[in-house]
Structure 1
Amino acid sequence: MTKKIYEHEIDDGFEIYVLIKSADVRLAKNGKKFIAFTFQDRSGQIDGKYWDAKEEDIKQFVPGQVVVVTGKRELYQNNPQLRISKLRLAREGEPNSPELYMESAPLKSEEMVEEVSQILFEITSAPINRIVRHILKKYQVEFFEYPAAKRHHHAFVGGLGYHTVSILRLAKTVLENYPAVNRSLLYGGIILHDIGKTIELSGSMSTEYTLKGNLIGHIVLIDEEITKACGLLNIDEDNEEVILLKHIVLAHHGKMEFGSPVVPHLLEAEIIHHLDNLDASINMIDTALLRTTPGTFGERIFGLENRTFYKPKFTQPTEE
């Protein structure tokens, strides 16, 4: 039982330890209950359905539990899934600690903290700097621990901070190429654009949307945090720099149908919208291709219009 989920080939039978990330109880057409699971280990997440679930199954197989799954890896509509034949809780003496099965960012938390801290010195607008530092300090622990999403991109421990650091790195290149871009607005907007997810999401373990996350959402939540910060720091909320910073975070999804109450009307807002999409898209494609055989197409990616991406056999020659 040493192989991870995605170390198994399609149609491989196996018995593996995995963590239950989510467990939704649903009704089948025959009126019987089943559990729609999302399992995970450090190789990624995968769905599986447990049919004819009894009440005792529903009570014990809950998010955060480590289980032993007997079954095989399959494809369903070009998406990976587990066909479950047997399921039980991991026992004492077995590897039953959830932390063993959680993916994490490729950077350590302290490395991300240091990188973001250095960027703060380049935010020369006094009100933007003070607001960003205040909110970052308030949510620092969660910011560098939480995932960036429940499911689709950077959905791992530290994913929120790593996503932000990745966009900051992209922004440095933008600033080198386009000197007209306002550095304070760009860096301040990037650091704050998703920090509302520390309120929207429940955490890195068995991530769910909170009540505020479901009913308000991270975009409006961070706008509220900027307003609170202005009050505590005695910063005029009608200051142009504050209004521009708010516009950036409110517009970063780019379109109203994607959740932004306004569309970008600032150069920096437009840039952040595209950098945010670019980093999220690359992460989703990278994740799919990591578990794809060269010369074939990967799984459908929900966040990219259910498109599939081809993994070439051709590889870039390495320099000697």
Structure 2
Amino acid sequence: MIRKFISQLNGGTTIDDIFLVQNKDLRTTKNGSLYIQAQLSDRTGTIDARMWDASTPFFESLGDDTFLRIKGRTEIYQNKIQLIIKQILKTSQEDIQLEDYLPSTEQDVNKMFSELKQIVSSIKQPHLKDLLALFFSDKDFCKRFCSAPAAVQYHHAFLGGLLEHTLSVAKLGDIIAPLYPGLNRDLLICGIILHDIGKISELCYERNFHYSDEGQLIGHLISGVLMVEERAKQIDGFPKTLLDLLRHLILSHHGEYEWGSPKLPMTLEALALHYLDNIDAKIHAFNKAILNDKDPNDNWTNYNRMLERKLFKKSHNYI
């Protein structure tokens, strides 16, 4: 059965789908009967829903489940679409496709991951090669790395965003490395691949994008360094200076103290990583702001607070 997304719903649509339950309450009508008020969502939007003739035992049986199968019918009430629920059923994790409920990359995840592994395999320095092998032979790490967003809001804030961002920056690194003989290509590429791995612990994305407790208390820079240190200990004779250089790449890649960087870039590889990371993030944020602008006929976006400027949308028309 083809899923009906919320943005596709009209009045009078029969519903039998799994939804992400953002919140649900048991309320009382004026005549004293109970009903469930809920807000349901998928990747395309949210919809208000009600289930009449509810009971306390039934409501409590739903527990804290965030994904539920909803059967019912939509109607228009006060010029707004709402869903009248006839039945609520529990569902299993196997039935849930997370990309149906949260923004997801438009790229092919398997293809991107294969491209990144090809870049990983090009590393020649033996200790860095072994380090990356420890990460990418870990199935749980790979699953989380391919699923995680790269941010909550700013750039690549969607499932698969971390992989998409890392691959883009790695490709940029491969392009510039031959142009500057002083750059250690293997160190730069390894640093690029590992610079944001802490985000798999910093960010949560089970029902929306938010920071984990670890993300709030520690942050992805420190989490990433700790992950690298843990694996480097498993490699006999991993040079301390090489580990220091790799830790510096992660700790300094934000580039400025005011951007949360505990260290300024102090090696060529760290400087390159910072600017390549910033290029990809900024271009993605520009494109997102232009794409989401509400007036397609205006040459300019509204003022963008994050980028602190208006953006000209039509430069591609002059090519």
Amino acid at match of 2:113: V
- What's the counterpart of residue 271 of structure 2? 270
The residue correspondences of 1:287-306 to structure 2 (distance < 5 A) are: 287-292=288-293, 293-305=296-308
Unaligned runs of 5+ in 2: 24-38, 48-55, 57-61, 89-95
TM-score (structure 1 length as normaliser) = 0.70
Looking at structure 2, the residues matched to 113 and 119 of structure 1 have their Cα atoms a distance apart, in angstroms, of 10
- Is residue 64–residue 98 contact of structure 1 (8 Å, CA) maintained in 2? no
Looking at structure 2, the residues matched to 299 and 66 of structure 1 have their Cα atoms a distance apart, in angstroms, of 39
Q: Alpha carbons of 1:314 and 1:259: their partners in 2 closer, same or farther (altered >3 Å)?
A: closer
> 3-state DSSP class of the match of 1:304?
coil
RMSD over equivalenced CA pairs, Å? 4.5
Looking at structure 2, the residues matched to 244 and 70 of structure 1 have their Cα atoms a distance apart, in angstroms, of 61
- What's the counterpart of residue 210 of structure 2? 208
Unaligned runs of 5+ in 1: 8-14, 24-36, 49-55, 72-83
Amino acid at match of 2:276: L
Amino acid at match of 2:300: F
Q: Alpha carbons of 1:312 and 1:245: their partners in 2 closer, same or farther (altered >3 Å)?
A: same
Amino acid at match of 1:273: H
Q: What percent identity do the matched residue pairs reach? A: 28
Q: Displacement, 1:38?
A: 12
What is the count of residue pairs matched by the alignment?
282
Q: Displacement, 1:269?
A: 0.6
The residue correspondences of 1:302-317 to structure 2 (distance < 5 A) are: 302-305=305-308, 307-312=309-314, 315-316=317-318
- What's the counterpart of residue 284 of structure 2? 283
Greater relative contact order (Cα < 8 A, sep 6+): 1
Q: Alpha carbons of 1:193 and 1:61: their partners in 2 closer, same or farther (altered >3 Å)?
A: same
- What's the counterpart of residue 103 of structure 2? 103
Looking at structure 2, the residues matched to 202 and 40 of structure 1 have their Cα atoms a distance apart, in angstroms, of 17
- Is residue 122–residue 183 contact of structure 1 (8 Å, CA) maintained in 2? no
Q: Displacement, 1:39?
A: 6.9
- What's the counterpart of residue 29 of structure 2? none
Deviations 1:158-197 (A, max 9, x none): 1110000111111122123223211111110010000111
- Is residue 147–residue 158 contact of structure 1 (8 Å, CA) maintained in 2? yes
> 3-state DSSP class of the match of 1:191?
helix
The residue correspondences of 1:1-320 to structure 2 (distance < 5 A) are: 41=43, 88=83, 99-138=99-138, 139-203=141-205, 205-236=207-238, 238=240, 240-292=241-293, 293-305=296-308, 307-312=309-314, 315-316=317-318
TM-score (structure 2 length as normaliser) = 0.70
- Is residue 201–residue 207 contact of structure 1 (8 Å, CA) maintained in 2? yes
Amino acid at match of 1:259: G
Looking at structure 2, the residues matched to 179 and 145 of structure 1 have their Cα atoms a distance apart, in angstroms, of 35
Q: Displacement, 1:221?
A: 0.5
Looking at structure 2, the residues matched to 195 and 275 of structure 1 have their Cα atoms a distance apart, in angstroms, of 16
> 3-state DSSP class of the match of 2:210?
coil
Q: Displacement, 1:63?
A: 6.9
